[in-house]
Amino acid sequence: MEEVLAITDKVVDKYGGDPESLVEVLREVNDKSGYLSREHLARIAERLSQPLSKVYGVASFYSLINLEPLGQHVIRFCQDAPCHIVGGREVWEALEKELGIPFGETTLDGQWSLLTTSCIGACAVGPVMMVDDDIHGNLTPEKVRDIIADYREQDERATATAVQGGQV
């Protein structure tokens, strides 16, 4: 709870407590915390002197603001027409199959969230997805499997190092 307050207050202060900054404050607290809990929203409402209902209304409106915790890695796959006509559907199916979850879900181990996104403006290399902040383009079902395998391998290596260092 104290961490929630500290993160939230820092961002609110950065914008000078200006109610007009609500969208940017929500986004920035979201990016720092991974998602916005009820406590985050209540604190933002209090600090910006806005009703909690309004803050919730704004937070739930925008797709880059999450009201639920997401997986460690978040895949945002573009499902719009330019990516679709160059083979998007096959890639989409491969993603669901590889991760074993449908779009909109998070894996039980909390490693992966599979979301769709509207156009991210990289259409010249479609089909496109973002994994966390990185854009991957010219996707095929094979390439998607390779990319996911790479992330899994990196995560395993990171865990192994942490175990060796006695940090886990």
Partner 1 sequence: MIRSSVLISGDPISLSRGAEETKLAIEAELAFYGLEDEVQVGYTGRVSRTDVVPVVVVYPDETVYGPVSADDAAELVEEHLYKGRVVEHLRVAQEVASAEIDTLDPEGATLYGQKRVVLNRAGRIDPYSVDDYIAYDGYFALGQALAEMTPDEVLEEVKASNLQGRGGAGFPTGLKWTFVAQQPETTRYIVCNADESEPGTFKDRLIIEGDPHAVLEGMALAGYAVGASEGWIYIRGEYAMAKDILNHAIEAAERLNLLGDNILGSDFSFHIHVHAGAGAYICGEETALLNSLEGKRGSPRIRPPYPTVRGFRDKPTVVNNVETLANVPPIVLHGADWFRAIGTERSPGTKVYTMLGDVNLTGLVEAPMGTTLREIIDIYGGGIKGGKAFKAAQTGGSAGTIIPADLLDVPMDFASMREHGAGLGSGALLICDENTDIVDLAYVLIRFFRTESCGKCTPCRVGNVQMLESLERLRKGMARRSDLERLEEIATYVESASFCGLGQAAPVPILTGLRYFRDEFESRVRD
Q: Are 115 and 78 in contact (CB under 8 A)?
A: no
Two structure tokens written together for 82:
């330019």
Residue 114 touches partner 1, criterion: CB under 8 A: no
Work out which of 133, 146, 165, 166 binds partner 1, going by CB under 8 A: 133
Q: How far apart are CA 139 and CA 126, in angstroms?
A: 7
Site string for partner 1, 42-81 (x = CB under 8 A): ---------------xx--xxxxx-------------xxx
Residue 127 touches partner 1, criterion: CB under 8 A: no
Work out which of 6, 125, 158, 163 binds partner 1, going by CB under 8 A: 125
- Tell me the three state secondary structure of residue 55: helix
- The angle formed by the CA atoms of residues 63, 137 and 141, to the nearest 5 degrees, is 100
Which run of H or of E encompasses 93? helix 89-99
Minimum separation from the CB atom of position 16 to partner 1 (A): 13
Closer of 104 and 165 to partner 1 (Cβ) = 104
Binding residues for partner 1, rule CB under 8 A, total 39
Minimum separation from the CB atom of position 56 to partner 1 (A): 11
Q: How far apart are CA 139 and CA 14, in angstroms?
A: 39
Site string for partner 1, 1-20 (x = CB under 8 A): -----------------xxx
Residue 137 touches partner 1, criterion: CB under 8 A: yes
Query: Looking at beta carbons, which pairs linking 24-30 to residues 24 or more positions away fall under 8 Å?
Result: 26/55, 26/58, 26/59, 26/62, 26/65, 27/62, 27/64, 27/65, 30/64, 30/65, 30/66
Binding site for partner 1 (CB under 8 A): 18-24, 26-27, 57-58, 61-65, 79-82, 84-86, 116-126, 133-137
